[in-house]
């Protein structure tokens, strides 16, 4: 059994509060699946697991605050013998398949499931059965039923058996399959909205004529601003750091980290002004030909240039630890996002150097939205290899930032402003931006930093190629 | 009359139309009115009453009972530099002039390689509701809206009756104006004109968020009444008055459907091959992904319009039909 | 479009972008990007929402006219002139 532990979601985190489990004991999980929601001083984060297997026991109850590294759950890696096959459903009487008991023959069942089917060892992880669970143990379903269920994508464990001994019958499977199927009628607007809001239409009940799913039904089903509160178990809500307390906690966390960065990291600073005429012309032209929702902002071009330059100058893209510099695997661009009501997070835009601009723009929107609604993922919070801060929206022209440890560089962009600019001996007015670099002198010297900013400039001169 | 002060008084659709013609006749010597009984009798629907006395028989000309002849004469006059307003009694009788309108007025600019514009205005009555029976009650404006080369207008308000004629006369191409017979007696305040009517744009007569009632001409008052009833049921209906049937203002329709996501089209013509069909098709083409319910149409029963009052009313779109269609789309 | 309708549309769009902001406290000539701490991403959503509500497309160049409630409403009215 592997332990799933409270992760370190940034150099400034020593403990976290488990707010909510997204899995139950017995659930199968894959590496990268979000399994729990953890609240830190700075934000609420969905934490992914690093194992593929089956969730064994949940060791920590929602609402509990534990130090980084503490075990939260046990995960049975895939392939290990004895992995439990069934899901525990604490809110429902547990259904068990038992192949070793004689059951009345079922009409649809052509043959009985072989008794050799590995059954979960009753001695292993005995699950306390809720009252009433034994008033009818469900029988085993024949291969026909299992085949039908598999074809229809129906989870037999979730089906209420109406046959003798609570056995699942063919009719039960068909009913469940029908319930799972997409509603017969979905208005075009509803279908479009479902795509935009990420709503799975198979679970939506239509209130329109002939049961048609309409926009209102989709909006109802969408995870709105009130939904997370509803999902939260009452225990977690009571024990988690309250919303009012978070700003203070966040301030404290930022204070600690920035003080450490300034104390430990010998910063050097470089600055250059970049002519954005080509970039802005290209962007406006691009925007004229695309739907409003797909427009680009200057920030997307600046981030892309920063990411490409980081790939070109890998000495600035990585971490400084006690042993020295280690280059980051991929360019995961930390994007500083200021939160309403104060505070700052810098989640990572993964592999930003490889994203096409429309993808990068979409990723940026999504990241900022989730940063502000408290639904960042653990990997986003901890993976950044270099951070970009863009204070242009705040109206300033340049920003000389403090590096986010253990990273070794921070790139700053100011506001895009129109300035007199000499080109080929003539003076013109051009949109320009001041790009700055704060870098860790332990890891690199000024010449490396200069190469970086020159690369940023070069990329911004050929926007169609970045 | 005809001054700014007179514009603010209470008036009727009929008087507003007359006032618009009087203004045009005064403003431009090239303008004249021609049609059956427009002079001595004052027009079959009394629209031109008093104009003969003011402008004389040269400019207010009674025409013989031959639509083809006097519409043809109007086309000739337009070609030779005048600005005729030709009145046809009803859209049913305009079919006798259809050859002139389609084969001459609408095509001469094209056939002459751009040398012969036809700046002609043809006014006619359309629609049912006054027990004039099947030969004087049909709504065939949708047929004319099929024809490239002409512009088709349907003023539905006193303001449009008063203010659409001037831009129609200024249009270098033939313009057909359809006046729904049930509107002539509509009375109300005539608001001062803030800017000339843009003949390319439909008008949103009432703002709403739940459903778009898209209509024109004689059905506009019914749609507005339906919107009032729907408001009582907490359904906020937007009422779009197409007012220019050709070319259709797609942008206003699109914008309305994008706001409300549902549409009912009200058209007094027969449903099959109607203007309602055209608008419905355009919504499907341009706004499918905005639709949250099937488009509804409220049209006349597909019969010759009956003479008997109750049968006639039953054949036409009624406010209750519009309300019911809106409920089908929204509920 | 009438001016008060336009004004409502601007306010509703802002409220949709910044749900916790008090749009009613905003003066007609206050620069709302500053007052409501709207960054460029928020502003882009505002443009999208406003475009959807009004049914016409707002281009990058138009955004210079959208800084206060007053100039935004004027812009919408001018854009939809003759539409009603």
Write the pLDDT tens digit of every residue in B171-225.
999 999 999 999 999 999 988 887 889 999 999 999 999 999 999 999 999 999 9
Chain A residue with the nearest C-alpha to that of C55: A292
- How far apart CA C33 and CA C66 sit, in angstroms, is 9
> At residue C83, does pLDDT exceed 60?
no
The structural domain count of chain B equals 2
Chain B residue with the nearest C-alpha to that of C53: B259
Average pLDDT over every residue of A65-71: 87
Predicted confidence at residue A179, as pLDDT, reads 64
| Closest among C24, C65, C66, C78 to C42, alpha carbons compared | C66
Does the domain made of A247-461 have the CATH classification 2.30.30.90?
no
Query: Domain-by-domain residue ranges, chain A?
Result: 2-128, 247-461
**Tokens at C74, concatenated:** 């004027």
Q: Are strands A34-39 and A65-67 parallel, antiparallel or unpaired?
A: unpaired
Chain A residue with the nearest C-alpha to that of B328: A209
- How far apart CA B17 and CA B12 sit, in angstroms, is 9
Q: Based on the domain organization, do B265 and B319 belong to the same domain?
A: yes
Average pLDDT over every residue of A230-258: 55
Task: Say whether B293 and A192 touch across the interface (CB within 8 A).
Answer: no
Task: Say whether A188 and B293 touch across the interface (CB within 8 A).
Answer: no
| Closest among B103, B325, B308, B87 to B227, alpha carbons compared | B325
**Taking a C-beta distance cutoff of 8 angstroms, is the pair A208, B330 a contact?**
no
Predicted confidence at residue A458, as pLDDT, reads 94
Q: Based on the domain organization, do B13 and B152 belong to the same domain?
A: yes
Predicted confidence band of residue C38 (pLDDT cuts 50, 70, 90)? confident
Predicted confidence at residue B8, as pLDDT, reads 57
**Which of C20, C44, C52 is opposite residue A295, by nearest beta carbon?**
C44
Ramachandran area for residue A355 (φ above 0: left; ψ -120 to 50: alpha; else beta) = beta
Q: What pLDDT digit, counting tens, does each position of A408-449 carry? A: 999 999 999 999 999 888 898 999 999 999 999 999 999 999
Task: Say whether A299 and C41 touch across the interface (CB within 8 A).
Answer: yes
Q: Is residue B194 part of a domain?
A: no
Q: Based on the domain organization, do B11 and B60 belong to the same domain?
A: yes
Express as a percent the part of chain A with pLDDT over 90: 25
Q: Based on the domain organization, do B182 and B210 belong to the same domain?
A: no
**Which of B204, B251, B258 is opposite residue C84, by nearest beta carbon?**
B204
Q: Is residue B296 annotated as a catalytic residue, yes or no?
A: no
Predicted confidence at residue A185, as pLDDT, reads 85
Chain A residue with the nearest C-alpha to that of C45: A293
- How far apart CA A180 and CA A150 sit, in angstroms, is 13
**Taking a C-beta distance cutoff of 8 angstroms, is the pair B315, B303 a contact?**
yes
Q: Based on the domain organization, do B245 and B154 belong to the same domain?
A: no
**Which of C5, C81, C82 is opposite residue B207, by nearest beta carbon?**
C5
Predicted confidence at residue A323, as pLDDT, reads 76
- How far apart CA B210 and CA B54 sit, in angstroms, is 50
B256 contacts in chain C (CB < 8 Å): 55
Between A81-85, A285-289, A312-316, B177-181, the lowest mean confidence (pLDDT) is in A81-85
Q: Is residue B288 part of a domain?
A: yes
Between A123-127, A314-318, A347-351, the lowest mean confidence (pLDDT) is in A123-127
Predicted confidence band of residue A390 (pLDDT cuts 50, 70, 90)? confident
Task: Say whether B291 and A215 touch across the interface (CB within 8 A).
Answer: no
Q: Based on the domain organization, do B179 and B243 belong to the same domain?
A: no
Question: Which DSSP string do the residues of A88-144 spell out, in sequence order?
Answer: --TTS------TTS--PPPSS-SSPPPTTSPPPPTTSSPPPPPTTTTSS---PPPHH
Identify the CATH number of the domain in which residue B137 sits.
3.40.50.970
The residue ranges of DSSP E strands in chain C, in sequence order, are: none
> At residue A363, does pLDDT exceed 70?
yes
Predicted confidence band of residue A234 (pLDDT cuts 50, 70, 90)? very low
Q: Most C CBs within 10 Å: which of A291, A292, A336, as the mutation test of the C interface?
A: A292
Chain C residue with the nearest C-alpha to that of B260: C53
| Closest among B252, B251, B231 to B241, alpha carbons compared | B252
* pTM (predicted TM-score): 0.49
The residue ranges of DSSP E strands in A330-454, in sequence order, are: 333-335, 337-338, 344-345, 348-349, 376-377, 386-390, 409-413, 417-423, 426-440
Q: Which residues of chain B have pLDDT under 70?
A: 1-9
Predicted confidence at residue B163, as pLDDT, reads 96
Helix (H) or strand (E) holding A361: helix A357-373
Task: Say whether C83 and B197 touch across the interface (CB within 8 A).
Answer: no
Predicted confidence band of residue A373 (pLDDT cuts 50, 70, 90)? confident
Q: Based on the domain organization, do B277 and B139 belong to the same domain?
A: no
Can you list the domains of chain C with their CATH numbers? 3-79 (1.10.1200.10)
Average pLDDT over every residue of A188-196: 85
B288 contacts in chain A (CB < 8 Å): 188
**Taking a C-beta distance cutoff of 8 angstroms, is the pair A41, A246 a contact?**
yes
Query: Of the residues B15, B136, B238, B261, which is catalytic?
Result: B136
Q: Based on the domain organization, do B98 and B241 belong to the same domain?
A: no
Predicted confidence band of residue A124 (pLDDT cuts 50, 70, 90)? very low
**Taking a C-beta distance cutoff of 8 angstroms, is the pair B262, B293 a contact?**
yes
Q: Based on the domain organization, do B179 and B209 belong to the same domain?
A: no
Q: Based on the domain organization, do B50 and B129 belong to the same domain?
A: yes
CA quadruple B125, B128, B131, B132: dihedral sign: positive
For residue C46, the distance in angstroms to the closest alpha carbon of chain B comes to 16
- How far apart CA A148 and CA A178 sit, in angstroms, is 12
The chains found to touch B (3+ Cβ pairs under 8 angstroms) are A, C
> At residue A236, does pLDDT exceed 50?
no
CA quadruple B3, B6, B12, B14: dihedral sign: negative
Touching C: A residues 260-279, CB under 8 Å: none
C83 contacts in chain B (CB < 8 Å): 201-204, 252
Chain C residue with the nearest C-alpha to that of A341: C37
**Taking a C-beta distance cutoff of 8 angstroms, is the pair A362, A338 a contact?**
no
Q: Is residue B308 part of a domain?
A: yes
Task: Say whether B292 and A189 touch across the interface (CB within 8 A).
Answer: yes
**Taking a C-beta distance cutoff of 8 angstroms, is the pair A12, A343 a contact?**
no
Between A105-119, A172-186, B228-242, the lowest mean confidence (pLDDT) is in A105-119
Q: Based on the domain organization, do B96 and B222 belong to the same domain?
A: no
CATH of domain A2-128: 2.40.50.100
Average pLDDT over every residue of A211-222: 85
**Tokens at B177, concatenated:** 């104006």
Average pLDDT over every residue of C21-47: 86
| Closest among B157, B128, B127, B131 to B141, alpha carbons compared | B127
The verdict on A219 touching B (C-beta cutoff 8 Å) is: no
Q: Which of the listed residues B166, B189, B212 is the one where a domain comes to its end?
A: B189
Predicted confidence at residue A383, as pLDDT, reads 83
Predicted confidence band of residue A101 (pLDDT cuts 50, 70, 90)? very low
**Tokens at A226, concatenated:** 């009130």
The verdict on B81 touching A (C-beta cutoff 8 Å) is: no
- B304 vs A288, higher pLDDT: B304
- The HSE-up count of residue A112 (CA atoms within 13 Å, CB side) is 14
For residue C3, the distance in angstroms to the closest alpha carbon of chain A comes to 24
B210 contacts in chain A (CB < 8 Å): none
The verdict on A85 touching C (C-beta cutoff 8 Å) is: no
A264: CB partners within 8 A, 6+ apart: A405
**Tokens at B189, concatenated:** 């305040």
Task: Say whether B258 and C56 touch across the interface (CB within 8 A).
Answer: no
B252 contacts in chain C (CB < 8 Å): 83
Task: Say whether C56 and B252 touch across the interface (CB within 8 A).
Answer: no
Query: How does DSSP classify residue C56?
Result: S
Task: Say whether C56 and B256 touch across the interface (CB within 8 A).
Answer: no
**Taking a C-beta distance cutoff of 8 angstroms, is the pair A100, A115 a contact?**
yes
Predicted confidence at residue A44, as pLDDT, reads 76
Q: Which domain holds residue B311?
A: 203-330
Interchain CB contacts (distance < 8 Å): B and C: 25
Predicted confidence at residue A102, as pLDDT, reads 42
Question: What average pLDDT does the structure give for chain C?
Answer: 84
Q: In terms of C-beta distances under 8 Å and separation of at least 24 residues, what long-range contacts does B299-302 make, across chains too?
A: B299/B266, B299/B267, B299/B268, B299/B269, B299/B270, B299/B271, B299/B274, B300/B128, B300/B139, B300/B268, B300/B269, B300/B270, B300/B271, B301/B270, B302/B270, B302/B271, B302/B272
A2 upstream amide cis, omega within 30 of 0: no
Question: What average pLDDT does the structure give for chain A?
Answer: 77
Q: Is residue B136 annotated as a catalytic residue, yes or no?
A: yes
Predicted confidence at residue A311, as pLDDT, reads 94
A340 contacts in chain C (CB < 8 Å): 18, 20, 37
A225 contacts in chain C (CB < 8 Å): 19
Question: Which DSSP string do the residues of B204-225 spell out, in sequence order?
Answer: EEE--SSEEEEE-GGGHHHHHH
Average pLDDT over every residue of A282-296: 86
- How far apart CA A337 and CA A349 sit, in angstroms, is 12
């Amino acid at each position: 059994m592997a332990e799933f532990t409270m992760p370190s979601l940034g150099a400034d985190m020593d403990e976290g509060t488990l707010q909510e489990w997204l899995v139950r004991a017995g659930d199968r999980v894959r590496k990268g699946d979000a399994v729990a929601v953890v609240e830190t001083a700075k934000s609420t984060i969905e934490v992914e697991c690093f194992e593929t297997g089956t969730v064994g026991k949940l060791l920590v109850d929602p609402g509990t605050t534990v130090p980084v590294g503490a075990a939260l759950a046990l995960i049975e890696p895939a392939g290990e013998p004895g992995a439990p096959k069934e899901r525990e459903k604490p809110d429902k009487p547990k259904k068990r398949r038992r192949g070793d008991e004689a059951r009345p023959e079922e009409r649809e069942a052509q043959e009985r499931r072989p008794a050799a089917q590995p059954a979960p060892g009753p001695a292993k992880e005995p699950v306390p059965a809720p009252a009433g669970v034994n008033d009818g143990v469900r029988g085993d379903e024949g291969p026909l039923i299992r085949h039908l269920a598999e074809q229809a994508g129906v989870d037999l464990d979730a089906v209420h058996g109406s046959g003798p001994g609570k056995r699942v019958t063919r009719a039960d499977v068909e009913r469940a399959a029908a319930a799972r199927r997409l509603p017969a009628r979905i208005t075009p607007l509803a279908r479009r909205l479902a795509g935009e809001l990420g709503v799975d239409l198979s679970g939506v009940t239509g209130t329109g004529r002939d049961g048609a799913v309409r926009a209102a039904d989709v909006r109802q089903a969408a995870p709105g601003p009130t939904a997370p509160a509803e999902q939260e178990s009452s225990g977690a809500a009571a024990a988690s750091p309250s919303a009012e307390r978070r700003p203070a906690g966040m301030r404290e966390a930022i204070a600690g980290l920035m003080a450490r960065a300034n104390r430990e990291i010998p910063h050097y600073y470089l600055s250059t002004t970049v002519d954005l005429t080509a970039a802005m012309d290209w962007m406006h032209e691009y925007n004229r030909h695309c739907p409003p929702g797909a427009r680009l902002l200057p920030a997307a071009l600046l981030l892309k240039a920063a990411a490409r330059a980081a790939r070109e100058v890998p000495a600035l893209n990585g971490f400084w630890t006690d042993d020295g510099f280690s280059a980051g695997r991929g360019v995961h661009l930390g994007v500083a996002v200021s939160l309403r009501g104060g505070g700052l997070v810098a989640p990572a835009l993964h592999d930003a150097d490889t994203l096409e601009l429309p993808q990068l723009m979409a990723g940026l929107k999504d990241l900022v939205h989730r940063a502000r609604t408290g639904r960042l993922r653990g990997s986003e919070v901890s993976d950044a290899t270099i951070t970009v801060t863009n204070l242009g929206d705040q109206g300033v022209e340049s920003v000389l930032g403090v590096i986010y440890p253990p990273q070794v560089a921070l790139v700053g962009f100011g506001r895009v402003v129109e300035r007199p600019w000499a080109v080929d001996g003539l003076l013109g007015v051009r949109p320009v931006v001041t790009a700055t670099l704060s870098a860790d002198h332990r890891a690199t010297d000024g010449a490396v930093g200069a190469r970086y900013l020159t690369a940023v400039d070069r990329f911004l001169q050929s926007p169609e190629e970045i | 009359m005809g001054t700014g002060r007179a514009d603010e008084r209470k008036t009727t659709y009929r008087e507003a139309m007359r006032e618009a013609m009087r203004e045009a006749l005064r403003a431009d010597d090239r303008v004249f009115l021609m049609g059956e009984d427009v002079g001595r009798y004052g027009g079959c629907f009394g629209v031109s009453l008093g104009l003969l006395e003011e402008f004389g028989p040269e400019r207010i000309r009674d025409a013989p009972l031959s639509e083809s002849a006097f519409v043809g004469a109007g086309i000739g006059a337009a070609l030779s530099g005048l600005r005729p307003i030709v009145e046809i009694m009803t859209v049913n009788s305009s079919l006798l002039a259809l050859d002139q309108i389609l084969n001459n007025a609408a095509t001469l600019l094209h056939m002459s390689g751009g040398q012969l514009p036809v700046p002609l205005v043809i006014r006619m009555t359309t629609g049912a509701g006054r027990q004039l029976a099947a030969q004087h009650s049909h709504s065939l404006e949708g047929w004319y809206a099929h024809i490239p080369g002409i512009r088709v207008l349907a003023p539905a308000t006193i303001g449009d009756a008063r203010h659409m004629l001037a831009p129609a006369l200024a249009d270098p191409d033939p313009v057909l104006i359809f006046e729904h017979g049930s509107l002539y007696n509509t009375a109300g305040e005539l608001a001062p004109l803030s800017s000339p009517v843009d003949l390319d744009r439909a008008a949103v007569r009432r703002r709403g968020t739940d459903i778009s009632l898209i209509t024109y001409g004689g059905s506009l008052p019914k749609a507005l009444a339906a919107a009032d009833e729907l408001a009582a049921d907490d359904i906020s209906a937007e009422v779009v008055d197409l007012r220019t049937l050709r070319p259709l203002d797609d942008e206003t329709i699109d914008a309305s459907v994008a706001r409300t996501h549902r549409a009912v089209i009200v058209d007094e013509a027969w449903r099959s091959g109607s203007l309602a069909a055209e608008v419905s098709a355009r919504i499907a083409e341009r706004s499918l992904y905005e639709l949250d319910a099937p488009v509804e149409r409220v049209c006349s029963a597909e019969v010759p319009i009956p003479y008997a009052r109750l049968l006639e009313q039953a054949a036409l779109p009624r406010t209750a039909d519009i309300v019911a269609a809106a409920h089908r789309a929204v509920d | 479009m009438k001016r008060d309708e336009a004004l409502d549309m601007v306010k509703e769009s802002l409220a949709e972008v910044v749900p916790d902001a008090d749009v009613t406290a905003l003066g007609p000539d206050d620069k709302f990007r500053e007052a409501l701490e709207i960054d460029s991403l928020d502003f882009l959503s505002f443009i999208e929402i406003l475009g959807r509500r009004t049914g016409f497309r707002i281009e990058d160049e138009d955004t210079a006219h959208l800084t206060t409630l007053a100039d935004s409403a004027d812009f919408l009215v001018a854009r939809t002139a003759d539409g009603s």
